[in-house]
Amino acid sequence: MSPDVGMSRLARSVTLNILNIMSDFTRRNSGTNEREKKLSSHSSGKNDEESSKVNAHEFSAMLTPNRSLSPKGFIIFMVCISIVCFTTGLVFTLAGAWPVMGFMGLDVLLIYLAFRKNYNDLKIFETISLTSNELILERVYPSGRSQSFEYNPFWVKVGIKEHSSGATKMQLISHGKVLNFGNFLSDDERREFASVLNREINLAKKSLNANK
């Protein structure tokens, strides 16, 4: 056998060994990556499950006053009032009683101011946020000032105080302290919402007990 043929066979043998080693390394790496992916996926699944257990029950609501007159309706109403008052004042002015026109104008101004104040008062609203761990009531006033009240769902309940006149008050009761809320709602709306919120609080308690 010639030296060239021997060297050639040796080179091919070395090359095949290197290829086999690289192939084994690649397979091992691939297996490791697959295991890491499975572990990562399993870990992510556990984290998602734990997260869902922590926030297993959520409820939120916004309470706003009833507005019987829309902004467009208010404009139409004021236009009608202005026409009536101007017409009445004009009749009296033509009859010689011109001071009446001033009183008619004053009436329109007072009606406008009264409705504007009422609209501003109706800008108040309250939000209720409930999870298995806490209940938060936030009250936002027309001025933009806000108040926040926090409760533990296990120690709070919603009550309706009935007066002899039939009027109601909706209350959050915890540790002997009472907070009136939803004062701008009707009596029927208070009763209905109190029932809904009590049900949601009970569900939050059950959800937290189930996740322990």
Per-residue pLDDT of the chain (212 residues), as tens digits, is: 444 444 444 445 544 444 455 555 455 554 444 444 443 434 444 444 444 444 568 899 999 988 777 778 888 988 998 998 899 888 888 888 888 888 888 999 998 898 888 888 888 999 999 998 999 999 999 888 999 999 999 999 999 999 888 889 999 999 989 999 999 999 999 999 999 999 999 998 888 777 66
Whether residue 147 contacts residue 139, with contact meaning beta carbons closer than 8 Å, is answered with yes
Q: What does the alpha-carbon distance between residue 172 and residue 193 come to, in Å, rounded to a whole number?
A: 12
Question: DSSP assignment, residue 180?
Answer: E
Question: DSSP assignment, residue 129?
Answer: E
Q: Provide the pLDDT for residue 92.
A: 87
**Which H helix or E strand runs over 30?**
helix 3-54
Q: Provide the pLDDT for residue 75.
A: 87
The token duo for 105 is 């104008």
Q: Provide the pLDDT for residue 212.
A: 61
Q: What does the alpha-carbon distance between residue 11 and residue 27 come to, in Å, rounded to a whole number?
A: 25
Number of H helices, E strands in the chain: 4, 7
- Say whether 181 sits in a helix, a strand or coil: strand
Whether residue 57 contacts residue 131, with contact meaning beta carbons closer than 8 Å, is answered with yes
Q: Provide the pLDDT for residue 20.
A: 53
Q: What does the alpha-carbon distance between residue 198 and residue 32 come to, in Å, rounded to a whole number?
A: 52
Strands across the sheet containing 177-181: 157-162, 168-174, 177-181
**Which H helix or E strand runs over 77?**
helix 71-94
**φ/ψ (deg, to 5) at 60:** -145, 150
**Which H helix or E strand runs over 204?**
helix 187-210
